Structure 1
Amino acid sequence: MNGAIGNLAISLGAMQVARKIPFDDPQVLQYARIGYVATQLSILGLYYYISMVVKKKNDQTVLKYVEPPSPMSPDTEGKLVTTTVRDYDLSEVSKLLRAVYMGILMMAFLHGYLKFTQPLFIQSLMGLKGLYDAKPIAIHILGKPAEGDLKRPFKVAPGLFGGGGASGPQTDKAAITEAEKKVGGKKDD
């Protein structure tokens, strides 16, 4: 099951469970708030720990790939990216942190301003699902080797209807050589 369908299934299941929770009770609401805050702080702490692990490992292995063109402007070509494993992993953790911050802002609006209570429970579960899906966690915390789906650069997960899976970065030598020629760079063999 791909990630988007799994997220949809968890969201729909969590909504059904959340309907049965009596959020009108102030004590239950307080527990839901505490659970949400504890989950978000745990996620932020784990991502911070991963960034510390990445910095400590300091893997300076060169990583070259061609970024896919933007879907909003398909006439442009992908650009060559030359980085290190350390910098790539830090940028991936940064993306995960931004996603958590956006979720917290959204929850502040939904719960703080609109007074919705069910999303507290649902977003707590979705945050844990996000930890399960995070590739830096699999590599740096669980110790899985960086091969297959965990090979850098990470492939873009397909969307709900299967789109987006083919738009991953190109790592083959021909694509890298072609991108180097276009930017006037030199070829390293």
Structure 2
Amino acid sequence: MNAATSNLVLSIGAMQLARKIPFEDPQVLTYVRVAYVAVQVIVLGVYYFITAKIKAKNDQTVLKYVEPAGPMSKEPGKLVATTNRDYDLTEMNKAMRGVWMGVAMMVFLHGYLKYTQPLFIQSLMGLKNLYDSKLVAVYILGKPAEGDLKRPFKGAGGLMGAGAEPQTDKAAIEEAEKRIGKKDD
């Protein structure tokens, strides 16, 4: 089951479970708030730890790939030449930005609109996203960067697993380099 499908299944299950939790009880609400904050602190702490490990490892292996164009774009993909270190740091920054956007959304939903169920659901989703993170698998669990963990990481895709993948084959990279050369002339 891909990440998008498992996220959907977890969300639906968590919503059903959240209906049975008595959020009207101030003590229960306090526990849910503490759990949400604790999960976000744990996730951000792990992400900052991984960032430190990436910087300490300083992997300067060159990474070239063709980034896919947008689904509605007529333009071909863009050539990206970077290092494993810079790629991992970029991916980690995206993950941290996602956590902070989720926290901002939760401040609005719970702080302003007074919704309580999303606190519980997002606590579970935060842990699941940490578990699904490819950088956690590489830097914390020590799995080799092969297969699904090979850089550049494949996108999560949609519910049916469809999505544009970065092209790493030699022909696609050479084609992108030729296009860049033609634009420079």
Tell me if TM exceeds 0.5: yes
The CA deviation at 1:163 is 2.4
User: For the residues of structure 1 that align with 2:103 and 2:120, how far apart are their CA atoms?
Assistant: 13
CA-atom RMSD, angstroms?
1.0
- List alignment gaps of at least 5 residues for structure 1: none
- List alignment gaps of at least 5 residues for structure 2: none
Code of the residue aligned with 1:141 in structure 2: it is I
Residue 79 (structure 1) aligned with residue 82 (structure 2): no
Matched with 2:159 is 160
User: For the residues of structure 2 that align with 1:19 and 1:181, how far apart are their CA atoms?
Assistant: 57
Q: Secondary structure at the match of 2:166?
A: coil
User: For the residues of structure 1 that align with 2:53 and 2:121, how far apart are their CA atoms?
Assistant: 30
Code of the residue aligned with 1:8 in structure 2: it is L
Matched with 1:105 is 104
| Runs of 4+, deviation exceeding 6 Å | none
Pairs aligned (count): 182
User: For the residues of structure 2 that align with 1:178 and 1:15, how far apart are their CA atoms?
Assistant: 48
> Normalising by structure 2, what TM-score?
0.96
Residue 36 (structure 1) aligned with residue 36 (structure 2): yes
Q: Secondary structure at the match of 2:152?
A: coil
User: For the residues of structure 1 that align with 2:154 and 2:92, how far apart are their CA atoms?
Assistant: 15
Q: Tell me the alpha carbon deviations over residues 102-154 of structure 1, each in whole angstroms, 9 at most, x when there is no partner.
A: 11111111101110001111000000000011000000000000000000000
Matched with 2:168 is 171
The percentage of aligned residue pairs carrying the same residue is 69
Q: Secondary structure at the match of 1:37?
A: helix
User: For the residues of structure 2 that align with 1:120 and 1:19, how far apart are their CA atoms?
Assistant: 13
Residue 118 (structure 1) aligned with residue 128 (structure 2): no
Q: Secondary structure at the match of 2:59?
A: coil
Matched with 1:136 is 135
Code of the residue aligned with 2:170 in structure 1: it is K
